[in-house]
Amino acid sequence: MKVMLVILDGMGDRPSGALRGGTPLEAANTPNMDYLAENGINGIMDPIAPGIRAGSDTAHLSLLGYNPYEVYTGRGPFEAAGENIELKPGDIAFRCNFSTVDETMNVIDRRAGRIRESTHKLAEVLNGMEIEGTRIIFKESVEHRAVLVLRGEGLSPRITDADPHRLGPINEVRALEKGAEKTAHIVNTFVRKSYEVLKKHPVNIERRKKGLPPANIVLPRGAGMVPHLKSIGEKYGITAGAIAGVSIVKGVCRLVGMEILEVEGAKGSAESDFAAKVRAGIKYLDSGDMVLINIKAPDLFGHDGDPAGKRAIIEKIDEAMKPLKEILDDAIVAITADHSTPCNVMDHSGDPVPLLIAGSGVRTDSVSDFGERSAPKGGLCRVRGNDLLNILLQLAGLSEKFGA
């Protein structure tokens, strides 16, 4: 059998008074996911370990069977790989935000109004500059996101973030160990130069005229060097593909040797074509053993603190899940999340996420709907993300026996 793993990014949540005490998933009308839950086995999962607030990168590494504590070097390299930037030994990569600051360098919008248009024009004026002999490679990603790569001699990822991760003064980047002072200085210089260049860019002049927050600075974070990972083919003996709209997930999957499937309409946003992702995933299973589909949208509403919007997008995603009911004779289907993003927290939390697994031969339980409080009553009980792929591959008959 084949394996389809659907990861609804940030889907996990907490009860909301705005939804009569339910979570967005519990409050949503989800007949297709409920069908899979009723005809499968359910449980809850700690993407990394109980209480750990997982990032999307570390969580996806864990869900694919890699120990993030051993292989994770920072978010930047995965973001770069997702944008198909080939990193060389010694390169330092960063995840960045186009953000909005005032004249005193206070952050007033970390995502520049979730800017969607013309970021490539902003990136063009930053890419290729040189700072003290270090080349700047800069590329826009989805919405407000971007990638920065430093290429030069004597660089180190052991520095702090420029992004303060909150509203207020930007951070002055500091070295975390001796020898990283040069890198910290280069990043601080780049941040200042980005403000000088972007504040007067035509794209931002036009945004201000429209009353939109200008993307007038770049704030890097998550410095890292490219890790060396055993491919998923070597690790499990399978062929695997991945469908995702956001660079960070593409990058994780690319660096573990998965084929990145480009799907028209897969934007990594609330406007993404969820049904197209599902159709492409099913088609890939004609030849591949496993496909991972990441759907980013629930996470966006969690970060925005919008439980009603999160409920509505989950209902839209559920409509796209309908074809999965037709492949259960040939594939093991799992639906879960990479982490919880509760609307009342507006950030990732360490809460476990619901997990369902359906397919021919899967032991069923008494759970009849998919939700944070119904899933723990199922037969899977509580598992860790690092064990998920082993569970799915053995159900599909794709795993090797351990021992005689």
pLDDT digits (tens, 9 = 90+) for 188-237: 999 999 999 999 999 999 999 999 999 999 999 989 988 888 999 999 99
Query: Does 269 lie in the same domain as 352?
Result: yes
Mapped onto helix, strand or coil, the DSSP state of residue 346 is: coil
Look at residue 81 and tell me if it is in a domain.
no
d(CA 314, CA 249): 20
Give the number of domains in the chain: 2
Verify that 215 and 279 share a domain, yes or no: no
Tell me: do 287 and 174 sit in the same domain: no
> What angle is formed at CA 365 by the lines to CA 362 and CA 366, rounded to 5 degrees?
150
Domain-embedded: residue 402 = no
Gap between the Cα atoms of 15 and 310, Å rounded: 13
User: Which residue ranges in the chain fall short of pLDDT 70?
Assistant: none
153-202 pLDDT, tens digit per residue, is 999 999 999 999 999 999 999 999 999 999 999 999 999 999 999 999 99
- Number of CB atoms found within 10 A of residue 227's CB: 18
Dihedral, 319, 321, 323, 327 alpha carbons, nearest 10: -160
Within a domain: 128? yes
26 and 63 together in one domain: yes
**Confidence (pLDDT) at 86:** 84
- The pLDDT score that the predictor gives to residue 228 is 82
> Which of 198, 224, 250 marks a domain boundary?
224
Examine the domain organization and report whether 31 and 114 are in the same domain: no
Whether residue 209 sits in one domain with residue 117: yes
Same domain, 26 and 114: no
Question: Is 338 contained in some domain?
Answer: yes
Is residue 321 included in any domain, yes or no?
yes
- Residues of the domain holding 182: 87-224
What pLDDT does residue 363 have? 96
CA dist 169 and 163 (Å) reads 9
- Residue 403 within any structural domain of the chain: no
Domain assignment present for 153: yes
Residue (of 140, 174, 137, 173) closest to 152 by Cα position: 137
Instruction: Take residue 288 and report the two structure tokens written for it.
Output: 């591949």
Q: What angle do the packed helices 307-320 and 31-38 form, to 10 degrees?
A: 70
Within a domain: residue 182?
A: yes
For 48, which DSSP code?
S
3-state secondary structure of 96: strand
| pLDDT of 252 | 94
For 15-36, b where at least 16 C-beta lie within 10 A, e where not — what string? bbebbeebbbbbbbebebbbbb
Looking at the structure, tell me whether residues 248 and 306 fall in a common domain: yes
pLDDT for position 276: 96
DSSP state of 149: E
Tokens coding 29: 């009308």
At 84 the pLDDT is 86
3-state SS class at 15: coil
Domain end marker among 191, 224, 257:
224
Phi, psi of 61 (to 5 degrees): -60, -45
Compute the C-alpha angle 386/354/231, nearest 5°.
25
| Whether residues 195 and 247 fall in one domain | no
Domain end call among 167, 192, 224: 224
| Domain CATH number, residue 329 | 3.40.720.10
Whether residues 299 and 210 share a domain: the answer is no
